[in-house]
Amino acid sequence: MNNTVLITGASRGIGKAIAELFAENGYNVVINYRSSDIKANELYNKLVRNNRSAMLIKADVAVREQVDEMYAKIKSAYGGVDVLINNAGIAEQKLFTDVSEDDWDNMFDINVKGMFNCTQAVLNDMISNKYGKIINISSIWGLVGASCEVAYASSKAAVIGFTKSLAKELGPSNICVNCIAPGIIDTDMNASLDDNAIKELKEQTPLIRLGSPEDIANLALYLASEKANFITGQIISPNGGFVI
């Protein structure tokens, strides 16, 4: 039986690249999304046309009831989840003095509470099965901080602390918990940057380019594989040498 992966925020960018790569490698792929109906359906239809095993579920990961309903559908179809990739997230550039309480709460609801909800939803079955891979997507800014992104960087730092702690707790159950902290990746999240800003970022990166969503997907596939069974609690940052 094929392993099943749940990818949150999978309709575009890094999540989409992960979904496509895992589908190519024989996984049952559950595509979660919140609002990008057109892009999510395009991805789902593409996978199905290519004879991939896929399921499409619209759910807000910040709302526990919706997450529980999503997992019930997955369990009915596939028996559970072998790999959880907590990828859903938002970003915002704003001076800290301009960040409202609602801005802060929304950032943490999606980037941190969503991870909490999805992990708790799948965990009892993983513990019973004595097997599971949990991969959390953080950011380079969660490692080093970023001016005008205090809320975002703080939420991504929380993802790192969550990963390290949960890995220690779940190790005896043979569940690996790791974190990917990407550098500057060429996705819609960075579409607001102008050409000069992109040029400067490339020049600051030793590999002289931005990362691609596929760069992150390849790492996620490795961490989900049997080849990574002795890797847990790690924060791996594919960033082209931007931070060493």
Domain 4-236, classified CATH 3.40.50.720, yes or no = yes
Answer whether 182's CB lies under 8 Å from 216's CB: yes
pTM for the structure as a whole: 0.97
209-238 as b/e: b if 16+ CB within 10 A? ebbebebbbebbbebbeeebeeebbebbbb
Is there a contact between 58 and 30 (Cβ–Cβ < 8 Å)?
no
The reported pLDDT for the residue numbered 197 is: 87
Domain ranges of the chain: 4-236
For residue 35, give every residue at least 6 positions away whose Cβ sits within 8 Å of its Cβ, in sequence order, or none.
none
Residue 54 DSSP SS3: strand
Chain CA centroid to CA 152, Å: 14
Provide the pLDDT for residue 191: 72
27 catalytically annotated? no
Q: What is the widest separation between alpha-carbon atoms in the chain?
A: 52
Looking at residue 2, its amino acid is N
Question: From the CB of residue 132, how many other CB atoms can be counted at a distance below 10 Å?
Answer: 23
Condensed to tens digits (0 to 9), the pLDDT of residues 191-205 reads 777 889 899 999 999
Residue ranges in the chain whose pLDDT is less than 50:
none
Q: What is the pLDDT of residues 140-194, one digit of tens each?
A: 999 999 999 999 999 999 999 999 999 999 999 999 999 999 999 998 877 777 8
Q: Report the distance separating Cα 126 and Cα 134, nearest Å.
A: 10
Catalytic hit among 71, 78, 152, 222: 152
| Token duo for residue 14 | 């890094």
